[in-house]
Amino acid sequence: SSGINAEYGTPVGTMGIRGTKVFGELSSDGNSISIVLLPEADGLLGQISFTNGAGTAIINKPFQGLNNISFQDPPQPVDFESLSAVRDAFGSRFDTLDTFLNTSTESSRVEEEAEEEEEEEEEEEEE
């Protein structure tokens, strides 16, 4: 068993999703994709594997993703750092996120929890 709960093929590549929320967009011409991994409301985080003609990327951090990747581009994960950075990168394409997460209050809470968890991990690494 690969542990993948869902697998989606696109003209750009194949995305395997395990236990998580993913927000993304395939360009209207089908030649590029942008995706981002979102933490669940309960703080759990799954994983995305993305494979195209140039390799495979594992996305397993909150607000990590791929931005404007084509079939020939090596998939290099981008750390957006926060929900607001994701919004900046995706622009108006990300306007539906609040609906996706249920409410803007929920998205703010999710972002705050992810940032707190990241700070705790950094403190543990320093010790």
Among 5-14, 17-26, 43-52, the least confident range: 17-26
The pTM score is: 0.68
Structure tokens at 22: 């993913």
With cut-offs at 50, 70 and 90, classify the pLDDT of residue 48: very high
Structure tokens at 36: 């981002």
Alpha-carbon gap, residue 82 to 64, rounded angstroms: 9
